C-alpha cells in the first residue's frame, strides 16, 4: 500500500531535479561557463526530465492498476456480503448501521433500508445493551481490535433472537484512528433454545432423582470403570468423584453379612441368568455407620463373547423404610403384651376412663369412672352415654356435646377444663375432660374415649390464684395491673362509642407519720380502713384500686364532672373522719385528690393518670385535703409526666 506514495515521491524528486537542471542550463551563460559545461548541463537536464516522464508514466499506470484492484476487491466484498448466509453489518462508531446484507436483515425481519436507518442500540435486547456499549468503548480506546461474543437482538415483531458476533475495527492507515466496525452475525437462536431445553430436562431429571433420594451409577469398561452420581456418593458421605474408577469397590463396602448374597445376585445377572440385578443390603457410610440400600441395575451392552461392556443402575436409600419395618416387627411382637398392659393400666390409673362404640353405648369403664359417676361398670355397660355421663359447662350450664352432630362429621379431640359432672343424685363436681374419637383405618367413626378427672380442688385453687392476680393482698381492692387493664378497656370504649367517666387519683396526707410512729403493722391496718372507707362512700359499680403504697385510684362510672367532684369530696371526708388509734395513740390523716376525665381525645391511660397525679400534687400544694381537677387538653402548658413517673 506504500508503493504508490514512494513512487510519487521519486517522480517529484526527479522532476524537481530536471527543472533545476533546465534552469541551470538557462542561467549558465550568465555564469560565463564554457561551451562544454553548458552542453553537459543541457544533456543532464534532458536525461533527468526524460527519466521523470518515464517514471510518471509508470506511476500513472500503477495508479490505474491499483484502482482496478480496489474495484475488484470491493466487488468481491460486495458479492461476499450479498451472498453470505451469515449476517454482515458495518457499524459506525456512533452505533449507526452503515451497511448490512440481506441475511442480517432477514434474520431480524427487516428490510435492508429499514435496518440501515437504525442503530444497533435499537435492535439490541435491553439486557445486552451494556455488553455492546462496553465493546464499543474498548474499540474506541484502542484496548481491543476484534471482538467475539453472544448477544440477543430484537426482531421487528419484538421477539428476541440469539446471535454470535465476530468482528473487528477498521482503522485509518496513517493515524490508526478507528473508522467503523465490521461484524459477522450468526443466528444461534435454535442452538440456544436446544441448550436451554437440554439444561431444563437435565435439571428436571437431576431434581427428580435427588428428590427421590436416588443415586445413579454407570459402568463402562471402555472408559475404565464405574462412575457415580453426586447423590450416590453423598448418600455415603463421600465427595463427588471420590469413588469413581474401580468397578469392584462397591462390593468391598457392603456389610459382611450381606456381601455373599449380593455378590451371587451380581454374578447371576452378569452371567445372563436374570434379566436385571436387584438387591437390598447395607453399605458402610464414610463415618462408619451402615446405610440400607436398594440397588437396581441392568447390563445394556455386551461384547461378542457375552462379556459385560456397559451397565447402568440406581441406588435408593431405604434406611428409614428398613427402620420402620424393624419397628413394625417389634410392635407386632409386643402388641399382645401391650393390650394386656393397657387393660391393667386403665384399671389402675388415677384418671377416669369411659369408652363407647359408634352407637354411643358404653363398652368400658374403669374403677375411677365408677367412683366419679356413682354408677358401677356392670350396670353401665351397654347403656347410652347420657345415662351414665352428663357434663355441662361451668359458666353457661349448657350440656357439652360428645357425639358428631351429623352422619359423616369428623370429631376431633377436645379438651375442656370448665366441665362440671352432674351425677344421678344431682350432686356435682368440677372435672377436666379430654374427649377423643376412635377412627378405624378407613377413617370411619367407631366410638369415643373420654378421660376425665376430679378437678374440684384445682378449680378452687385456680379461682384463688386468679383473684390474687387481680387484687391487692392487703386491702382486697383491685391491684395496679388489673386496674390498668380495666382503664384501658374504658378508654377504648370511649374512643369507639363515646361517653365519659371520671378518674380520681387519691394520695393520703400524713400517712408517713403513722408508719414512723406505729410501724408498718399500724400502716397496714390503716390502709385497710381507708380502703373500706372509700368503698363505703361510692356506688357499687365504681371501681376502686390500690396503686401501691398510700396511693389509691377510683373510676366513677357516672360520667358527669359534677358527680366526680362530689364523690371526691365524699372520699376526702370519709378518710378525714376515720377514728383510728394504734397502741392507744390516735392518728389523724387526710387525702388529696386529683380529678381527670376519661373520654375520647383526652389521651391514653398513662396520660390520664399522669394528669390526675399532677392535679393531686396541685391539691397538696393548695393546702392538702382538697380536690383539684386537671385542666382540659388545650389548656395544658407543660408536658404530662409519664405513668411510671407519675405513680
Query: Of 165, 85, 163, which is closest to residue 125 (Cα–Cα)?
Result: 163
Residue of 295, 507, 550, 606 marked active site? 550
CB–CB of 188/208 below 8 Å?
Answer: no
Q: Which of 241, 242, 237, 234 is nearest to 215 (CA)?
A: 234
Closest CA to 89 of 153, 25, 2: 153
φ/ψ of 147, rounded to 5, equals: -150, 155
**Three-state SS string across 198-246, please?**
HHHHHHHHHHHHHHCCEEEEEEEHHHCEEEECHHHHHHCCCCCCCCCEC
Which H or E element spans position 209?
helix 189-211
Three-state SS for 299? strand
Record the cell numbers describing residue 67, joined without a space.
Answer: 484502482
* Cell, residue 255: 456389610
Close Cβ partners of 167 (under 8 Å, ≥ 6 residues apart)? 146, 147, 148, 181, 182, 183, 184
- Residue 610 contacts residue 641 (beta carbons within 8 Å): yes
Cα separation, 543 vs 603, in Å, equals: 20
CB 62 within 8 A of CB 4: yes
CA 596, CA 324: separation in Å to the nearest integer?
70
How do beta strands 627-629 and 590-599 pair?
A: parallel
Q: Residue 503, SS3?
A: strand
Q: How far is CA 361 from the centre of its chain?
A: 51
Indicate the DSSP class of residue 15: H
Clarify whether 550 is annotated catalytic: yes
What distance in Å separates the CA atoms of residue 577 and residue 581, rounded to the nearest whole number? 12
The helix/strand/coil state of 517 is helix
Strand partners, 106: none
Catalytic residues: 550
Amino acid at each position: 500500500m506504500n508503493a504508490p506514495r514512494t513512487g510519487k515521491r521519486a517522480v517529484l524528486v526527479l522532476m524537481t531535479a530536471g527543472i533545476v537542471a533546465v534552469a541551470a542550463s538557462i542561467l549558465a551563460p550568465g555564469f560565463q561557463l564554457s561551451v562544454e559545461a553548458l552542453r553537459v548541463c543541457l544533456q543532464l537536464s534532458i536525461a533527468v526530465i526524460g527519466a521523470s516522464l518515464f517514471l510518471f508514466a509508470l506511476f500513472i499506470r500503477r495508479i490505474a492498476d491499483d484502482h482496478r484492484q480496489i474495484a475488484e476487491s470491493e466487488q468481491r466484498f460486495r458479492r461476499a456480503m450479498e451472498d453470505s448466509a451469515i449476517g454482515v453489518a458495518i457499524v459506525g462508531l456512533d452505533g449507526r448501521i452503515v451497511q448490512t446484507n440481506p441475511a442480517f436483515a432477514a434474520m431480524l425481519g427487516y428490510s435492508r433500508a429499514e435496518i440501515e436507518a437504525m442503530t444497533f442500540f435499537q435492535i439490541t435486547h435491553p439486557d445486552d445493551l451494556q455488553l455492546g456499549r462496553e465493546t464499543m468503548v474498548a474499540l474506541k480506546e484502542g484496548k481491543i481490535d476484534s471482538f467475539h461474543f453472544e448477544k440477543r437482538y430484537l426482531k421487528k415483531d419484538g421477539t428476541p433472537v440469539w446471535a454470535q458476533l465476530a468482528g473487528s475495527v477498521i482503522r485509518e492507515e496513517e493515524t490508526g484512528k478507528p473508522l467503523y466496525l465490521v461484524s459477522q452475525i450468526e443466528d444461534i437462536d435454535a442452538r440456544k433454545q436446544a441448550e436451554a431445553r437440554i439444561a431444563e430436562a437435565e435439571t428436571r431429571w437431576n431434581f427428580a432423582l435427588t428428590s427421590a433420594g436416588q443415586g445413579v451409577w454407570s459402568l463402562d469398561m471402555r472408559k475404565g470403570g464405574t462412575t457415580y452420581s453426586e447423590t450416590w456418593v453423598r448418600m455415603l458421605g463421600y465427595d463427588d468423584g471420590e469413588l469413581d474408577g474401580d468397578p469392584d469397590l462397591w462390593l468391598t463396602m457392603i456389610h459382611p453379612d450381606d456381601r455373599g448374597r449380593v455378590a451371587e445376585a451380581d454374578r447371576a445377572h452378569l452371567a445372563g441368568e436374570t434379566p436385571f440385578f436387584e438387591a437390598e443390603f447395607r453399605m458402610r457410610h464414610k463415618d462408619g455407620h451402615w446405610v440400607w440400600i436398594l440397588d437396581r441395575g441392568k447390563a445394556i451392552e455386551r461384547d461378542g463373547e457375552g462379556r459385560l461392556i456397559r451397565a447402568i443402575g440406581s441406588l435408593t436409600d431405604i434406611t428409614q423404610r428398613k427402620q420402620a419395618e424393624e419397628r413394625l416387627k417389634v410392635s407386632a411382637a409386643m402388641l399382645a403384651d401391650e393390650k394386656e398392659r393397657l387393660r391393667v393400666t386403665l384399671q389402675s390409673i388415677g384418671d377416669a376412663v369411659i369408652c363407647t362404640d359408634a352407637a354411643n353405648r358404653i363398652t368400658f369403664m374403669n374403677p375411677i369412672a365408677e367412683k366419679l359417676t356413682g354408677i358401677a361398670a356392670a350396670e353401665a355397660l351397654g347403656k347410652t352415654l347420657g345415662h351414665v355421663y352428663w357434663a355441662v359447662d361451668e359458666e353457661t350450664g349448657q350440656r357439652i356435646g360428645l357425639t358428631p352432630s351429623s352422619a359423616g362429621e369428623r370429631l376431633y379431640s377436645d379438651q375442656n377444663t370448665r366441665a362440671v359432672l352432674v351425677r344421678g343424685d344431682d350432686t356435682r363436681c368440677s372435672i377436666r375432660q379430654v374427649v377423643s374419637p376412635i377412627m378405624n383405618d378407613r377413617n370411619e367413626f367407631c366410638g369415643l374415649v373420654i378421660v376425665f378427672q376430679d378437678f374440684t380442688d384445682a378449680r378452687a385453687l385456680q379461682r384463688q390464684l386468679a383473684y390474687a392476680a387481680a387484687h391487692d393482698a392487703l386491702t382486697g381492692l383491685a391491684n395496679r395491673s388489673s386496674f390498668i387493664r380495666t382503664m384501658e378497656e374504658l378508654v377504648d370504649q370511649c374512643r369507639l362509642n363515646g361517653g365519659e367517666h371520671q378518674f380520681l387519683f387519691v394520695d393520703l396526707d400524713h400517712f408517713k407519720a403513722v408508719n414512723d410512729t406505729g410501724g408498718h403493722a399500724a400502716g397496714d391496718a390503716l390502709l385497710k380502713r381507708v380502703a373500706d372507707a372509700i368503698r363505703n362512700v361510692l356506688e357499687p359499680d365504681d371501681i376502686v384500686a390500690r396503686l401501691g403504697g398510700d396511693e389509691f385510684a377510683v373510676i366513677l362510672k357516672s360520667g358527669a364532672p359534677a358527680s366526680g367532684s362530689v364523690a371526691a369530696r365524699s372520699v376526702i371526708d370519709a378518710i378525714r373522719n376515720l377514728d383510728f388509734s394504734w397502741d392507744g395513740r390516735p392518728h389523724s390523716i387526710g387525702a388529696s385528690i386529683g380529678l381527670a376525665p376519661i373520654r375520647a381525645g383526652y389521651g391514653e391511660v398513662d396520660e390520664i393518670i399522669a394528669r390526675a397525679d399532677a392535679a393531686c400534687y396541685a391539691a397538696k400544694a393548695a393546702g392538702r385535703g382538697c380536690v383539684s381537677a386537671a385542666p382540659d387538653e388545650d389548656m395544658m402548658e407543660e408536658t404530662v409526666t409519664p405513668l411510671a413517673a407519675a405513680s
